[in-house]
Amino acid sequence: MKPDPSSLRPLASAQRLLVLTGAGVSAESGIPTFRGAGGLWREHKAEELATPQAFEQDPELIWEWYQWRRSICRGAEPNPAHRVIAALEGALPGFLLATQNVDGLHQRAGSTKLIALHGNIDDARCTACEHVFALPEHPPELPECPRCECLARPHILWFGESYWPGVLEASYAFAMSADAVLIVGTSGAVGPPAYLAVEAKRRGAFCVEVNPEVSALSEVVDLHLRTGAVEAMGWIAEAFGIESR
């Protein structure tokens, strides 16, 4: 149900807005979430494939899964929710988008003040020298590092791995002084990104969640818009008085 405009006022008057997104913002672009229906590939759960152990055991299987996911991402288009988030960046003096998504749709929608917390599906990283490089359109079954020819892996933060240096620090530095947080389409199951919202809230930020379901963050937020990202971001665009295309 569309919220009363007054309930969105603390969000719409923000000067420093942190937007935290997860797989749900891309669901209406046709990209399956991990924890929703469609999170399975063959008989495998995503949580079992997106691990360093799975890659060590069977790199071909993991690359095959990532190539399948990459083809879905490349075939998808940013939706109006991605575009409203990109427009918010230009409308506010202080803005940061911290995304857990690896699909590149925020970037394609025009977002630039963005931290891709979990990497990008179009990039690979050498398992030996750690060189990060863009994958070609049709990579081989087992991509190799262009510098040292060792086996490369997807440049994605897998379950159980540590964040890359600087990534969380920069996100937390912004969150500490944000006056509002907009959380879109995340289950809040992955600790550090969820803590960004929790910490900002603790310091007084007004928190809004967009998610058709209850999430691990629902009890923390001030306002829960219980609908899909596209509809809710349309309401939010209206509240900010920005054009949503």
Instruction: Kindly state the smallest distance separating residue 24's Cβ from ligand NAD, in Å.
Output: 2
118 catalytic residue (yes or no): yes
Instruction: Kindly state the smallest distance separating residue 97's Cβ from ligand NAD, in Å.
Output: 13
Gap between the Cα atoms of 119 and 124, Å rounded: 9
Cα-based distances in Å from 104 to 24, 107, 183: 14, 5, 18
Residue 98 interacting with ligand NAD (CB under 6 A):
no
Choose between 15 and 53: whose C-beta lies nearer to ligand NAD: 53
Residue 28 interacting with ligand NAD (CB under 6 A):
yes
Residue 168 interacting with ligand NAD (CB under 6 A):
no
Residue 23 interacting with ligand NAD (CB under 6 A):
yes
Q: How far apart are the first and last CA of the chain?
A: 21
Gap between the Cα atoms of 161 and 16, Å rounded: 30
Q: Which long-range contacts (CB under 8 A, 24 or more apart) does 147-151 make?
A: 150/126, 151/59, 151/126, 151/127
Residue 107 interacting with ligand NAD (CB under 6 A):
no
Q: 76, 105 in Cβ contact below 8 A?
A: yes
Choose between 94 and 110: whose C-beta lies nearer to ligand NAD: 110
Contact pick of 19, 215, 225, 237 for ligand NAD (by CB under 6 A): 215
Q: Please report, as ranges, the residues that interact with ligand NAD according to CB under 6 A.
A: 22-24, 26-28, 31, 33-36, 100-103, 118, 185-187, 189-190, 210-213, 215, 228-229
